[in-house]
Structure 1
């Protein structure tokens, strides 16, 4: 891991880093030291590691809970180079969407291409983060991700035993049913009742497939981008309950 910049604002330390060709960001409390729980945040499609949906969750996790929070750019986004195959698939999906047609096979193919790189990238990033004194290798780890961050999160949480709690949702991909069944950690799962991209029945089937003994479905009215702000507060309570606080 190479730290490329460090700033402190309003009690939050922000460190930009690279691991190989993967750019990321780590937020920690400016005061205090020692290991603490870590939350990984996966951004949505077309966004990046410092997108509004990442920062709006990350800052409260740091200030209210004392957590470390990290995010990385998915392939072809943020500070990562252009990815020709991803660009081609996104263009095809956008063309079909403009014509009022279903996304077709390009959508599952796009997710497979992204996941093939992003899941190993997350695991390598986690290896590096656990070497830092501000994180440590013995504190609980959570994951937060909605939409494509939820799509990738289901795959990551199922594959990574170090993650012990997750907030997921806004995804109903049928090809994830078998993967969701492998998840056994506590999950808070979000559904937007009028989601234009993910029919509620498909989202509920994916929720039902989760193998977790402790799982909660939060359903709210509104479209894909209308998740109520109070769900941030709920996720704070969820992670505080399952990850605890910084080591004293």
Structure 2
């Protein structure tokens, strides 16, 4: 990885937004107007999105309003990053499965874990670079649903700098569960009780696999994409409890 480079900076409504590159990586860093050192929350985006997606910006602004910094990077094959032949093949297979009613989990899970193998060292390199900034106080959390969980669980399992994490909306898989068993930091886990893609038993099994002694399950009625907006408020309170 080469040096961190900020390529654009904007400031509005008390939020400093900096776009950066780190070698081939692209990301966004959001900071509160206050100069006081504060924790950094890593935001993992879902499949088909990127670091500039509206949900990422909304979550980042909510976190900065509470005094946190937030960062997101584009996952492999997302945003402006080039897709491989495997990416195109797997995306087409997922779209066909969802259109025909075939279970999509057997496609999504191995593909997302493949992306996690690539993304975890990228996240660690990003954290290596950002932790040098004087406005960060050395405390780090992670938030990611869907593909953000597939990447965030192995990342949290191997990087001791992450001391609290929010996951959810993903399938049980033995490889992912093995990573989860190594996680001992406080976690919050969200699932949709009526998820048409992820059987609730699968989500419950993944939650059960986490080795954390402090873990909370948030089960909400609704389909896969109907995670209530108030879960963002819960996420903010969770990080306030554990990172301050």
TM-score by length of 2: 0.94
Deviation per residue, 1:73-118 (Å, 9 max, x gap): 0011112122332121111222233232233754333123211211
Deviation per residue, 1:167-208 (Å, 9 max, x gap): 110112323121111110000100110111211110001101
**Residue in 1 aligned with 2:222?**
222
Task: Answer with 97-106 or 84-93: which moved more.
Answer: 97-106
2:189 alignment partner, SS class: strand
Q: Which runs of 5+ in 1 are unaligned?
A: none
Aligned length: 240
> In structure 2, what is the Cα distance between the partners aligned to 1:216 and 1:103?
27
Kept in 1: contact 2:113–2:150 (CA 8 A): no
**Residue in 2 aligned with 1:96?**
97
Q: Which runs of 5+ in 2 are unaligned?
A: none
Does residue 144 of structure 1 match 2:125?
Answer: no
Kept in 1: contact 2:144–2:167 (CA 8 A): yes
**Residue in 1 aligned with 2:54?**
52
Of 2, 15, 18, the residue aligned with 2:5 is: 2
**Residue in 1 aligned with 2:161?**
162
2:188 alignment partner, SS class: strand
TM-score by length of 1: 0.92
2:80 alignment partner, SS class: coil
Kept in 2: contact 1:86–1:113 (CA 8 A): no
Q: Which runs of 4+ in 1 moved over 3 A?
A: 103-106
Kept in 2: contact 1:6–1:13 (CA 8 A): yes
| TM-aligned CA deviation for residue 165 of structure 1 | 0.2
1:108–1:232 CA distance, 2 compared to 1 (3 A): closer
What's the Cα RMSD here?
1.4
User: What are the residue-to-residue correspondences of 1:113-124 with 2, within 5 Å?
Assistant: 113-124=114-125
